Structure formats: C-alpha cells, structure tokens
Amino acid sequence: MEPLVGRSSSCLAQLMRDLGQPEYRARQLAAWIYRKRMTDYDAMSDLPADLRRSLAERYVIRSAVSERAAASKDGATKHLVRLADGLAVECVHLPYERRVSVCLSSQVGCPVGCTFCATGMGGFARNLTAGEIVEQFLLMQDLHPNRRITHAVFMGMGEPLLNIDNVVAAAHLLRDEVQVSARNLTISTVGIVPGIRALADADLAVGLALSLHAPNDAIRDRLIPSNRRWPLAEVMAAARAYRRATGRDVTFEYLLLAGHNDSAECARELAALLGDMPGAVNLIPYNPVEGAVAYETPSSARVRAFRAELEAAGRPVTQRARRGRGASGACGQLAGEAAGRRAPKLRASVSSR
Ligand code: SF4
C-alpha cells in the first residue's frame, strides 16, 4: 500500500474529495501525520470512523522504520532507517545547546563519486521520495521526543540537487506541514549547477551549503568528479545567483585533506575565488573513512594556518565540531552500516560536502 506521508495538504484534499469527504478533513489528517506524528488511524479521534476505515484499507501512514541507532558520547545519534523496499539510509540526530538538528539523506548511495567519500565509492541505488526524506525527520522526533527538532540539513547520503524534485517537495513539507522554519533548513551540494538554479526558483529560500573543498579546478577535478561538468566558475556564478534570488548568504564548506588542499597558498586562492561574495567558510578537517581513498587528517597547526590566511583576507571562518565520532556519524564517517542489503556500500557524510 502507498504511504500517506509525503503528501501535502492540497494533495490530501484531492484524496478527501475522491473519498467523498469535505476538504477540511485534509487539514485534520495532515496535522495527525506531520505534527502529531500519529501512525495509527484509530487514534485520529476527530476523523469519522468510516473515513479512518477507508484510509486504512488504502494507505499505510508511513513506510520506513528506524532499525538501529548508535549514540556517541557527544550526544549525536546515528540511525539506520530501513525503507519499504529493503534498502536503507542513515540519518543523524544532533542536539546542540540552543537547537536540535537532524541530518537527512536524499538518495540511497550517490552517483557523484567524490574520492573522499565512502558513499560515493559505493555507487548509487535510487532517489528517495519526498515522503522518505520527511519520514527520517519524523522518526528522529519520535525517537528523541524530549526536545523539538528545530533544524534540518540535507547533508546525509546522496547529492540532494540530483534529486531536486523530491528534495524541494520534502523541504516544502517540512516548512508547511511539519512547520520547521525555512531559515532552519539547509541544502548541501557539491555544485550541481542546474539544481542550484532550480532551487533558487523553488520559492523556499532555504540555506545553501556549497561544498567547495578546493580553490581551483585542477584540485577539485581530482576530488569531485562533477566538477568536470560544472567547473568552479559556473558553480560560483550559480551560487551568486542563488544569493541574489533568495537574499540568503551561501555557506562554503571546505574539507581539509592533508597535502591536497590544505596549504596556505590554497587558502589564499580560496579567499580570492570567493572575492567579495559574503558567506562564511566552514572548515572540516578530514575524518578517515573506511572504504574511501586514503586521505589524511591535516595537523592542527596546518588547520590553524589555513584558517588564519582566510581570516587575514577578511573571510569569516567557522570550524565544524567533530560531533558524532563515536557513532561513526561525523563528517564522511557514516559509512557502511547500511551496506550490502540489496544496496551498494553506503556512507553519509554529515557532510563532507
Ligand atoms: S560527498 Fe556528497 S556528492 Fe560526493 S559522493 Fe559523497 S554523498 Fe555524493
């Protein structure tokens, strides 16, 4: 049976019309599915019994289950989510002092094949539906009920902008039905230019996190295969257009790989590439990942020197805390848990992108 999750209120309104019900029932049903996170029709007390019966005969409410969880000492918890077809993805619950975030997957595997990423090494199975993306959020809230999840980042498995229709639909559902502020939604990309442009037109104004990881095409081509199709100049032009269209600063993610992209010269080149475009650079020292090409973590001194060069050029810099290491949930570390079950080898960088 088809799941109801993934359908907007207007979609549910059509369903109600088809069942001979008044449209306001759609709003009631959406509230049960997305805000009260009900998975049992019998508990939907303001819906008539015959409607609940009709729905139960035709639809399941959700289709995915959380199969396993691994918590790390810093409070992050990685969850393995099993999909209806037996494939699996991973997502991470990340509580902070003032907010609670979840990192969501958008694909089973990933077709991009970044050389530092175990998901990319493992290949691609399929896109997630909008419902499967939203289900990850709802499951995380079910399993961590004490604090409301306030933020969601699309930085798990997969390249979100290669699944743009479902990712945009999921972001709309999170904003309109689950009621997460669009300001608190962030979509990450390695620079899929048509996707960035489509996202700018999507009437969402979500945050965009652009994974650069290199200051020039020569280095970037070696790390991110899609750079050969959409080189840095095109990626940066699309990012500038995104900022103009949405009014939101882009965040630049930069994974530091010892000896590859972490020199002071690279930092200066990165500062020049960004020029006068506002937006912070988020530095992410590499975390070794089983199954990916062997890169090494840069020394702390090297990271400090890289950061200092950027700051000297006037660029705001943040450095991602390595949360979730104990749960294999830090950047590039969500490897392999979902592997081998009718799926390619999987990992999700939370985000190494
Ligand atoms: S870093 Fe992102 S885009 Fe690259 S292979 Fe991994 S999941 Fe795909």
Among candidate residues 59, 77, 188, the one with its CA nearest the CA of residue 141:
77
Q: Note the pLDDT of residue 290.
A: 64
- Give the whole-angstrom CA distance, residue 319 versus residue 303: 9
- Give the whole-angstrom CA distance, residue 192 versus residue 190: 6
Q: Which residues does the chain have with pLDDT short of 50?
A: 325-333, 335-352
Please answer whether residues 242 and 200 qualify as being in contact, where contact means their C-beta atoms are separated by less than 8 angstroms: yes
Among candidate residues 352, 350, 283, the one with its CA nearest the CA of residue 101:
350
Please answer whether residues 26 and 15 qualify as being in contact, where contact means their C-beta atoms are separated by less than 8 angstroms: yes
What's this model's pTM, rounded to 2 decimal places? 0.92
Q: Which residues are catalytic?
A: 90, 331
Binding site membership of 262 for ligand 1 (Cβ less than 6 Å): no
Q: Note the pLDDT of residue 343.
A: 34
Binding site membership of 44 for ligand 1 (Cβ less than 6 Å): no
Mutate to test the pocket of ligand 1, among 190, 345, 350 (most ligand atoms within 8 A of CB): 190
- Give the whole-angstrom CA distance, residue 46 versus residue 291: 51
Binding site membership of 163 for ligand 1 (Cβ less than 6 Å): no
Q: Note the pLDDT of residue 294.
A: 79
In sequence order, the 6+-apart residues with CB closer than 8 A to the CB of 251 are 186, 207, 208, 209, 210, 279, 280, 281, 282
Is the domain defined by 2-60 classed in CATH 1.10.150.530?
yes
DSSP 266: H
Q: Note the pLDDT of residue 292.
A: 60
Q: Note the pLDDT of residue 16.
A: 97
Binding site membership of 63 for ligand 1 (Cβ less than 6 Å): no
Nearest-CA residue for atom 1 of ligand 1? 353
* Spacing, Cα 155 to ligand 1 middle (Å): 9
Q: Residue length, the chain?
A: 353
pLDDT tens by residue, 91-144: 999 999 999 999 999 999 999 999 988 887 778 999 999 999 999 999 999 999
Topology alike, domains 2-60 and 65-348 = no
DSSP 191: -
Residue extents of the structural domains in the chain = 2-60, 65-348
Is the domain defined by 65-348 classed in CATH 3.20.20.70?
yes
Binding site membership of 353 for ligand 1 (Cβ less than 6 Å): yes
pLDDT tens by residue, 334-343: 544 444 333 3
The token pair that represents 352 in the structure block: 């190494």
H helices of the chain, where? 9-18, 24-30, 49-58, 118-122, 130-143, 164-176, 193-200, 217-223, 232-246, 264-274, 300-312
The token pair that represents 38 in the structure block: 């009900």
Q: Note the pLDDT of residue 285.
A: 92
* Spacing, Cα 191 to ligand 1 middle (Å): 11
Q: Note the pLDDT of residue 326.
A: 45
Among candidate residues 133, 169, 139, the one with its CA nearest the CA of residue 153:
133
